[in-house]
Every structure is written in C-alpha cells, then in structure tokens.
Amino acid sequence: RADGHQVPPPVVHYKLNELTSSDSAAAQGERILILTPMSRFYQEYWDNLAKLKYPHELISLGFILPKTKEGSAATTALQEAVAKTQAGPIDSRFASVTILRQDFDPPIISQDEQERHKKENQKLRRESMSRARNSLLFTTLGPATSWVLWLDADIVETPPTLIEDLTKHDKPVIVPNCFQRYFNEDTKQMDVRPYDFNSWRDSDTALDMAAKMGPDEILLEGYSDMATFRALMAYMASGLEDADPHQEVELDGVGGTALLVKADVHRDGAMFPAFPFYHLLETEGFAKMARRLGYTCWGLPDYFVYHYNE
C-alpha cells in the first residue's frame, strides 16, 4: 500500500457446527480426505482412485511412506502418478495431495522366531503402523474435512461408487469386508477368500482373556493359541449372488484396509493407539476408543473390496 502499512492476513472462520457429514455427502458438498499409509505403490490402487465418481474437487489425498528403499521407490512412483492426474482434465484433479515421509524408524521384523516372538513382532509392527496413521491424520485433517476414508495401498479393487456407497449409511465408523482373489487349486478356478480379520464383534472369551492380562499385553486375532471366539465379519459374508451389500452389522473391532470415519470422530480424539488400549492396538484400538467416546462402529459383510495377492 502507498502508506507503507501491510495488510494483515485475513482471519479465516470455519463454523464446525455447520460442517456436515450426512447421507447425501456429494450433494452437500462434503469434503473427504483419503488417507493411505504406503510402503508399495500399486497402479491398480491409483487407477481406482482416479475412477472414483465422487467429485474430485471434494477429495483430498494424504500419504505417509516409510524411509526405506522400498518407501523411496513407492514415493517416486506415487509422485509420477500424482503429477499425471493433477495435470490432466480439471474434473479428474484432486483438491490437494500431501505426501509425508515417516520421521521414525521402520519396524524391525525378524523372520524365524517362536510364536511368542512373532506376536511380539506383530505388536511392534502394529504400534509402528499406529504412529504412521496418527502422523498422517494429525497433519492432514483440516477444518473443512467432513469424512476420512482410510484406504490401504494394496487394496486393488474398489467400486467407483465407494465413497457414495459408504457415506450413504451415515455411520460414525463403517467398514466394508476385505477379501482377496486367489487361484483355487481344488476347483482350478479363481476364487475369493477373507483377508482382513480385524473387523469383529467381541466375545465373552476375548473379554475374559483381556481381563486377566497385564497392562502391556495385547489380544491378537488369528493365532490358534489365542482363540478369542470373536464373531469375525470375514465369516459373516452371505456368499449369495443376490446378497444385499448394504446390510449392516454392529462391530467392536475394525480393520483399516478400507475404513470410513466421520471426521468428527477423529476430531473428538479417536486415533490409533500405539500402546495397548484395553489390550487392543491400531485400528482395533481405534474402534474401542470411538466406542468409549460414544460412537458406534458398523460393518458391511456383503460389500467387498479386494486386497492384492502377492
């Protein structure tokens, strides 16, 4: 200005009480943040993001990658994919993209240990994943974010209507069933099998086991010497051709391969515990924390996303 005074930057007001997360998300112009911890880049994952029908101008993307050789290769591939899409047709461009590199060491995973040590590895790995998810969440969640969609980098098959399909349930936390395609040697045909066992309804057995545990001990799903008898969503799929993909079940634990969360649940403080929380870690601990905050968690046993098969 001629008088030499600087114009102070404008103060931006966000009315959080007017920020909605509703069953008509796109029509309401609700912004969604898709968050992905990524150790490897899969083109199929990116192609599915690019094909999402939800208005891309309402979608922001956030990634966190480990500081490993593998993580560096994935970062390069991801940056190329981002550059291509963001230079493409305006309608295809995402609102914003944030790429973070982890500031802590990756977990050390030893190969042949005894069962107990394997569990210990699982503990370190999931604590490390919790820190990665929390770093990503706390640096990218904005005042205009209505929804957060957690989507793993190795989820290679998702419907283009994924966001509309999940938001329309209008749930605080909702998770589809994560399966995997494989070649069935018995039938000599391609087949599907459950992949993610972290979405479950609790059992008295698991609660009793937890009650007898020390403060640092955790419950893990899928270990024969730790049978929890929880009801796993993986086994609730009807298997029927004409199954209703929108049938809901209430859950106590959730997996994070694909997981939709109302941003207010995170804003209230629900995150991924990197420490035993009610003897649960990461996404299962998150579900517990969300429930302790008064929210409910839901699953769609007959709505599928598919995990890469290595």
CB 39 within 8 A of CB 72: no
State which of positions 107-146 bind Mn ion (CB under 5 A): none
What would the two tokens of residue 217 be? 């001990």
Closest C-alpha to 280, from 177, 151, 113, 130: 130
Task: Compare residues 127 and 154 and give the one whose CB is closer to Mn ion.
Answer: 154
What would the two tokens of residue 195 be? 């992949």
State which of positions 147-166 bind Mn ion (CB under 5 A): 154
Q: CB under 5 to 8 A by kind: which of Mn ion, ligand GDP, none does 64 bind? A: ligand GDP
- CB 124 → Mn ion: shortest distance, Å? 17
Q: CB under 5 to 8 A by kind: which of Mn ion, ligand GDP, none does 252 bind? A: none
Q: CB under 5 to 8 A by kind: which of Mn ion, ligand GDP, none does 38 bind? A: ligand GDP
- CB 82 → ligand GDP: shortest distance, Å? 16
Closest C-alpha to 101, from 37, 150, 45, 154: 37
Summarize as ranges the residues that interact with ligand GDP (CB under 6 A). Answer: 37-40, 64-66, 102, 106, 128, 132, 152-154
Element spanning 132, H or E: helix 115-140
The whole-angstrom separation of Cα 294 and Cα 283 is 17
The whole-angstrom separation of Cα 37 and Cα 99 is 10
Chain residue whose CB lies nearest Mn ion: 154
The whole-angstrom separation of Cα 168 and Cα 22 is 7
Task: Compare residues 38 and 52 and give the one whose CB is closer to ligand GDP.
Answer: 38
Task: Compare residues 64 and 289 and give the one whose CB is closer to ligand GDP.
Answer: 64
Task: Compare residues 155 and 166 and give the one whose CB is closer to ligand GDP.
Answer: 155
Parallel, antiparallel or unpaired: strands 96-101 and 231-232: unpaired
CB 244 within 8 A of CB 302: yes
Strand ranges, E, within 14-144: 31-37, 59-65, 96-101
- CB 43 → Mn ion: shortest distance, Å? 16
Closest C-alpha to 64, from 33, 109, 108: 33
What would the two tokens of residue 24 be? 């008509």
Task: Compare residues 25 and 153 and give the one whose CB is closer to ligand GDP.
Answer: 153
Q: CB under 5 to 8 A by kind: which of Mn ion, ligand GDP, none does 132 bind? A: ligand GDP
Q: CB under 5 to 8 A by kind: which of Mn ion, ligand GDP, none does 284 bind? A: none
Task: Compare residues 52 and 153 and give the one whose CB is closer to ligand GDP.
Answer: 153
Q: Is 62 helix (H, G, I), strand (E, B) or coil?
A: strand
Q: CB under 5 to 8 A by kind: which of ligand GDP, Mn ion, none does 180 bind? A: none
- CB 197 → ligand GDP: shortest distance, Å? 9
Question: What is the binding site for Mn ion (CB under 5 A)?
Answer: 154
